[in-house]
């Protein structure tokens, strides 16, 4: 911990003491089932990028939907499971309507621990990458259209060199007629639109980007999910850390918003709104407000780091120390409260995802069982 960090942080103390208000009125709304869902805010540019070894995500741009994210100058943004049922996850507040998502990352080690990149729309179109902590040779790519979990050969495992040890470049190039999945510049999978149930289940609606880690092998989950995750999580081995060095996202359009004009969930039903300005500014390399980034950097420091900063100072101005000690306690209390809330959040924020995965794995397991017993592919329908 460098003392110089303190001086960088000092001007920010004022900002911490000032309460921030951030209206969060958005709630999940599936445009195929409900009318009047809010428009999706578009990214609307090419090559939004953020280097997480030196920059912090803005809460305007990324919503932490469970847990907290740690930052490390070497590893970047860390998604850490320290104890049972933690599942730090972030979700972009922007959407892309086709485009590219590049993530330079290292998956978490640990049996039953799942690291993931998910590109997901409001009606559950989804493209994803998943790493199983106990598998150091493969990564899975998968997709869903309109939340259809019927499993044929959508999930594919690909070889990759020790993804829990080495950072790799996982890029998804999502286009109207096909999606290319790249690892370090090599195409490892191409999904053509027509392969996806004749195009009907091809991901085709404005989607956000989610990064996170979750205990797929938590004993609370059903046996299929635990099995898919590679076995039960042994929390004695925690912490389990997924680390993201950088993210680059391109939106294929230059829109400011996307409007779902009907309930078909088809790409044609999406109205591209070309306003003058996105509802929020960007962070990272596209930030126009470096001061805000400093404030966020400070807020994003872990409680221990903050305490370490305070404690390493020693003889600086007494008044400053007084203020800082106050903040220290305040932040620490806030931190504890946050953690309790974060734990509770697992149920709320992840339950839906888990239910989705569980169903997918249940169907897959049943299918496998039926194939083995010679019943053929449709046996699961009996249940």
Ligand X SMILES: *[C@@H]1O[C@H](CO)[C@@H](O)[C@H](O)[C@H]1NC(C)=O
Closest distance to ligand X from the beta carbon of 316 (Å): 33
Prior bond of 113 cis (ω within 30°): no
> Which is closer to ligand X, CB of 249 or CB of 324?
249
Alpha helices in 206-350 (DSSP H): 223-228, 290-300, 303-313, 318-345
- H or E element that contains 62: strand 62-66
d(C-alpha 49, C-alpha 54), whole Å:
12
Q: Count other Cβ atoms within 10 Å, centred on residue 180.
A: 15
Of 75, 86, 102, 130, which one is the catalytic site residue? Answer: 130
Residues near ligand X (CB under 6 A) are 24, 26-27, 30, 32-33, 46-47, 49, 51, 63, 65, 93, 102, 134-135, 137-138, 148, 150, 152, 157, 169, 171, 182, 185, 197, 200-201, 230, 246, 248, 271-274, 285, 349
> Which is closer to ligand X, CB of 130 or CB of 324?
130
Closest distance to ligand X from the beta carbon of 148 (Å): 4
Would residue 126 show up in a list of annotated catalytic residues for this protein?
Answer: yes
> Which is closer to ligand X, CB of 192 or CB of 329?
192
d(C-alpha 89, C-alpha 80), whole Å:
10
Alpha helices in 47-137 (DSSP H): none
Of 126, 165, 194, 345, which one is the catalytic site residue? Answer: 126
Which residue from 54, 55, 81 is spatially nearest to 66, judged by alpha carbons?
A: 81
> Which is closer to ligand X, CB of 137 or CB of 304?
137
Closest distance to ligand X from the beta carbon of 3 (Å): 26
Closest distance to ligand X from the beta carbon of 363 (Å): 10
Please identify the residue of the shown chain whose CB is closest to the bound ligand X: 49
Q: Count other Cβ atoms within 10 Å, centred on residue 130.
A: 21
> Which is closer to ligand X, CB of 155 or CB of 321?
155
- H or E element that contains 157: strand 156-159
Closest distance to ligand X from the beta carbon of 305 (Å): 23
User: Catalytic site residues?
Assistant: 126, 130
């Amino acid at each position: 911990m460098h003392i110089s960090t303190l001086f960088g942080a000092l001007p920010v103390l004022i900002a911490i003491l000032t309460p921030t208000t951030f209206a969060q009125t958005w709630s999940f709304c599936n445009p195929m089932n409900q009318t009047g869902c809010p428009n999706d805010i578009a990214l609307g540019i090419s090559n939004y990028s953020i280097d997480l070894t030196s920059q912090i995500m803005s809460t305007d741009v990324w919503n932490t939907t469970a847990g907290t994210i740690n930052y490390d100058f070497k590893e970047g943004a860390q998604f850490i499971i320290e104890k049972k049922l933690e599942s730090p996850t972030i979700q972009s507040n922007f959407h892309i309507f086709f485009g590219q998502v590049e993530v330079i990352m290292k998956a978490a080690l640990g049996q039953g621990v799942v690291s993931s990149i998910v590109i997901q729309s409001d009606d559950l179109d989804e493209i994803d990458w998943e790493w199983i902590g106990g598998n150091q040779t493969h990564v899975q790519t998968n997709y869903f259209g309109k939340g259809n979990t019927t499993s044929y050969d959508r999930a594919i495992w690909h070889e990759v060199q020790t993804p829990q040890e080495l950072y790799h470049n996982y890029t998804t190039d999502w286009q109207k007629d096909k999606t290319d999945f790249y690892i370090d510049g090599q195409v490892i999978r191409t999904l053509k639109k027509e392969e996806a149930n004749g195009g009907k289940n091809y991901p085709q609606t404005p989607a956000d980007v989610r990064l996170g880690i979750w205990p797929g092998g938590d004993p609370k989950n059903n046996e299929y999910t635990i099995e898919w995750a590679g076995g039960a999580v042994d929390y004695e081995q925690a912490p389990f850390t997924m680390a993201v060095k950088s993210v680059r996202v391109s939106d294929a359009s230059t829109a400011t918003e996307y409007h779902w004009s009907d309930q078909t969930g088809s790409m044609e039903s999406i109205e591209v709104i070309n306003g003058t300005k996105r509802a929020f500014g960007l962070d990272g390399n596209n930030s126009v407000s470096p001061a805000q980034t400093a404030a966020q950097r400070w807020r994003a420091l872990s409680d221990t780091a903050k305490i370490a900063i305070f404690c390493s100072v020693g003889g600086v101005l007494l008044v400053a120390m007084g203020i800082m000690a106050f903040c220290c306690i305040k932040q620490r209390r806030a931190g504890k409260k946050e953690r309790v809330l974060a734990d509770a959040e697992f149920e709320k924020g992840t339950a839906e995802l888990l239910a989705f995965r569980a169903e997918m794995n249940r169907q897959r397991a049943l299918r496998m069982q039926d194939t083995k017993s010679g019943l053929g592919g449709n046996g699961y329908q009996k249940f």
